[in-house]
Amino acid sequence: MIKGHPELIIPQHVGIIMDGNGRWAKKRAMPRSVGHRFGAQNFRKITRYISKTGVKVLTLYAFSTENWKRSFAEVNALMGLFKEYLIDLLTNFKEDDIKVVFIGDRSAFDKNLIELIEENEEQAKDRTGMLLNIAMNYGSRDEILMAVKKLCREVRDNGLDPESITVDDISARLYTAGEPDPDLIIRTGGEMRLSNFLLYQSAYSEIYSTDTLWPDFHEKDFDEAIIAFNQRNRRFGGV
């Protein structure tokens, strides 16, 4: 529930493209790594707030498959920051009953980071509150390719009839299998593109873009996104 707006429909699944950390730092004549640190701090605050609004699933775009193209220094700083915050997550969301899951190709990360990811998932597996998907080394095209390869192996090895394959079969082989598709995708930082985020799942998602940079995206900004979502007429291809 949004404070002061009990009548609002709360989306089941919200995805957020957390954009603008680097620009936030540049505006303040700071290194980009400082922007990422402030953005990471905001991630914890906003996640806790969203979990109390009634959202069932929250997917946050933390690191894309394309982000490896950034400078070595920036990527190295991000990896160090991820480790800090994964250690923090082991205790931080326990009281909120938030279930933490990581989506993406974790094999590219070092051993310590992979162990922290697995430890977080193991510790949170029995929680019953909001599901938090953290997308790390995630790219939607790679995810779709992975799903197609799984189906191809089943055709080859298990006799699956290609003509019987449905869109639900593809959905069941994505990282988000069993979860509702996102109702709302929020992008901070003013850009108007999905940037390889949940492409298959967001076929009928409402898109909300705000010029607010991620470190400055606070509770009121999320509330404004929900208000805007309620003003949309979702027809899902119908009249």
Q: What is the DSSP string of 82-125?
A: HHHHHHHHHHHTTTTT-EEEEES-GGGS-HHHHHHHHHHHHHHT
Q: What is the Cα–Cα distance from 76 to 67, expressed in whole angstroms?
A: 11
Q: What is the Cα–Cα distance from 109 to 105, expressed in whole angstroms?
A: 8
**What is each CA distance from 25 to 32, 63, 79, 90, in whole angstroms?**
5, 18, 18, 28
- H-run or E-run covering 45: helix 32-51
- Strand runs (DSSP E) across the chain, as ranges? 13-17, 57-64, 99-103, 131-138, 184-187, 206-209
**Of 43, 45, 53, 1, residue with least CA distance to 19:** 43
Decide if 110 is catalytic. Answer: no
Question: Residue 159 class from Cβ within 10 Å (0-12 exposed, 13-18 middle, 19+ buried)?
Answer: exposed
Out of 21, 42, 67, 105, pick the active-site residue: 67
Q: What is the Cα–Cα distance from 33 to 224, expressed in whole angstroms?
A: 28
Give me 149's structure tokens: 């390869």
Decide if 19 is catalytic. Answer: yes
Give me 133's structure tokens: 């998907």
Just list the catalytic residues: 19, 67
